[in-house]
Structure formats: C-alpha cells, structure tokens
Amino acid sequence: MIRRPGPRTCGGLFILTWAHGYTRFVDLALPAAAERTPHRTRNSNGGARPGSTGRGSQFRRPEEGSTSLRSSGHKDFLYLAHTEAESRLSSNRRQAIRFLVPEAAITVEALAKSFPPARGGWRTFFQPFEKPTAVALAGVSFEVKEGEALAILGANGAGKSTLLRILATLLVPTRGHARVAGHDTVQQSREVRRRLGYHAGTDHGFYARLTARENLLFFCQLNLLSSSAAAQRISQLAEQFQLGQALDRQVRSLSTGTVQRLSLARALLHRPSVLLLDEPTRSLDAIAAAEFRRFLKSEILRHGQTSLLFASHTLPEVELLADRVAVIHAGRLLACDTTSTLKLSTGASSLEEVFLRLTGHHAATSSRERVS
C-alpha cells in the first residue's frame, strides 16, 4: 500500500528544494557577478593583503573555483542586493523627474518620407528613364507643447499633408520618429488614434450612401462613445457647425462646404487632446470660416487642454490662431518660431513677406515688380 506524503513531508521537500536552489544560485550566479564587480580582499588583521601596494590593489577579482568565493557568498549577495536597490532608486528618480517635466503633445525627430517610383509591367524595362524617388520630407524636427497651436506654412507640395498623415498614423515614415501624446505613431498607433482628432484636406473618408448622422454615429462607436453620449455630442456639434438640416441626408448629396463642416465635426467628436487640421477652412464660405475660427479660439484653445497643429494658406487665420509658425519648403523645415520673432529675424513687416524671404521668392518677386 502506497502512502500519500503528509504535510510535513511536503514542507521538508520544499525546504530542501529551496536550499538547493539557493546553493545553485551562489555557485552559478555569484562568480559571474563577481567578474563584473570589484571584490575587496583583506587579511585576518583587517588590512590589505600582504604584497599588495597602492590603494587600487586592495580590489581584486576572485578566480573561478576559489574557496574564498563560497565562504564570502552571503556578503557578496548582500552587496549585489544593495547595488541593485541603488540602481532601482536612481531609475525611480529618473522616472519621477520625467513625470514632473511634461512631455510635448507632438514630438517629431528627423522625420523623413520618400515615395519610390511605381514598378511592374512595362516600367520594368524602362527603369533608367523613370522619375527619381520623390522626397516629401527630409529630416523635419519640431515639438508642439501641450495647449499650444502651431501652424504649418508651405507651398503646394512642400510636405504639409504628408507630415499630418504620418502623425495621424496613415503613413509610415521612411526614417525618423514621431510621437503624439507620448505614444509612437508606428509602434503605438492605436493609442495615438484614441487621443487624436484628424481632419483631412480633401479625402474625408465618409460613406457616401449613409446619412451624415449615421456617419457620425459610426465614428462615435469607433471612439467607444456610448449611445447617449454620442447622441448628445452629435447634437452639440450639429448646432455649432450648422448641420441640422443636413444630418438626415446622404453624404453624396451634400455640398463640398457641408462635407467640410461635417469632417470638422467628426474630428471633435471624442474631445481629443491633439487636433490635426489640414486646411480647415478650405471650401468654407466667409461666414462659416469666421465662425469656425471663433469656435476654435474661444472653445477649443482657450482652456489650454487641446494642442493644435494645422496647415493653412490663409495668413490672417495663421496670425489669429497660431502661437508659433513653422515654415516648410521642399520637405525641409526652414524656421519655427513666433510671428514676431520671425519678422524680427528676417526683417519683414508681414507674415507673407516672412514666408517669401525664407523660401527665396522675395528676390524674384521684387525683380518682377521693378520690371513692371
């Protein structure tokens, strides 16, 4: 008859197993640790070992298989534990300092994006005659602080929309890194989308056969809003953007300006902490554009809880909304500062003149004016 082991037997086996594991730890782990850490050896009188000269000779690394290593294993173990505790304390201090210093809402580091030419088919036989790789961004770096509004100025094809699409996780950069609300746009794209509101300049991504209300409800569900919260938020934004009569109409039957207002309302559905707007007042009439600027200035940016990065060709809009202005030309960042500082550094009297001087078009414009 086989007897089951009692609790005393199980406890004894556990103690023996633990003791064996600790012994193996001393035998295996400590020699490797001792190779990395200095070991002080002293004689029986507490002084340095005879034959050693100088202060630095009091430290030596014990050889493998040394008998003194096993005898001093407990002291070495305590020393390693103390060293590990100090390293953990220093890492906690670094984390506390990082917590006290707020991270920027948007961080762009050496961001680059290039589009290779199309391959395949008959193009394979004419590769030497193809167009070279199109460089949209070339090493762009800047930051947007929390609660700050930064405007991007640039000509058509300068890389403004490409930059916003990378920050919106719609494109993957060729080189460099971008972080939105402390999250990487490539490695943590889902976390970025939860905190981001994006308005595209042209392709808004609505479902044409659905009504405007159904589209907004769909995007509310994507942002994990409840049914009651979604209905309340849609009614608020519909009143703000004057979409009351257009909510129950199909998107394909709406005008371009109405679709633009609908896209702006969608970007604000979940009250994002970071807003990306690509030419927000494009296709809007003068009244709607002025009302939207007033709404951004008084309702969104006033509390300092939302960071705004927007691209615009309307210079009065930039001067009204932006705390700083970034000038991009041919994929490169030429300047990024306040409007007054840019005027002072370039010797210009207006923001338009600042842009022309930085991009090199000021001389050409002046020469044409002299000829005329």
Question: Are residues 171 and 165 in contact, defined by beta-carbon separation less than 8 angstroms?
Answer: yes
Q: How far is CA 195 from CA 104, 105, 233, in A?
A: 14, 10, 17
Question: Are residues 330 and 162 in contact, defined by beta-carbon separation less than 8 angstroms?
Answer: no
Does the residue 346 lie in any domain? Answer: yes
Does the residue 347 lie in any domain? Answer: yes
Q: What is the pLDDT of residues 229-245, one digit of tens each?
A: 999 999 999 999 989 88
Does the residue 23 lie in any domain? Answer: no
Higher pLDDT, 327 or 131: 327
Residue 359's CATH number: 3.40.50.300
When the pLDDT of each residue in the chain is averaged and rounded to a whole number, the result is 78
Higher pLDDT, 248 or 67: 248
Residue 31's pLDDT band (boundaries 50, 70, 90)? very low
H-run or E-run covering 109:
strand 106-115
Higher pLDDT, 19 or 229: 229
Higher pLDDT, 196 or 122: 196
pLDDT for residue 68 is more than 50: no
Question: CA-CA distance, 274 to 106, in Å (whole number)?
Answer: 8
Phi/psi for 288 (5° steps) reads -65, -40
* Helix, strand, coil share of the chain (percent; to 5): 50, 20, 35
Q: How far is CA 336 from CA 110, 153, 172, 341, in A?
A: 15, 10, 24, 9
Structural domains counted in the chain: 1
Does the residue 344 lie in any domain? Answer: yes
- Taking the model in full, what pTM does it have? 0.69
pLDDT for residue 14 is more than 80: no
How many CA atoms, within 13 angstroms, populate the side-chain half-sphere of residue 19? 6
Residue 40's pLDDT band (boundaries 50, 70, 90)? very low
Does the residue 184 lie in any domain? Answer: yes
Rounded mean pLDDT, 81-100: 52
Does the residue 325 lie in any domain? Answer: yes
pLDDT for residue 117 is more than 80: no
The string of DSSP letters for 39-69 reads EE-B-TTSSBPTT--SSGGGEEPPPTT-HHH
The two three-digit tokens of residue 220, written as one number? 């509310």
pLDDT for residue 62 is more than 50: no
The two three-digit tokens of residue 9, written as one number? 């037997």
Q: What is the pLDDT of residues 319-328, one digit of tens each?
A: 999 999 999 9
pLDDT attached to residue 283: 84
State percent of the chain over pLDDT 70. Answer: 66
Does the residue 15 lie in any domain? Answer: no
**Is residue 354 packed enough to be buried (19+ CB in 10 Å), middle (13-18) or exposed (0-12)?**
buried
Does the residue 88 lie in any domain? Answer: no
* Structural domain boundaries, residue 176: 95-119+132-148+157-195+313-372
H-run or E-run covering 165:
helix 160-167
pLDDT for residue 168 is more than 90: yes
Higher pLDDT, 101 or 343: 343
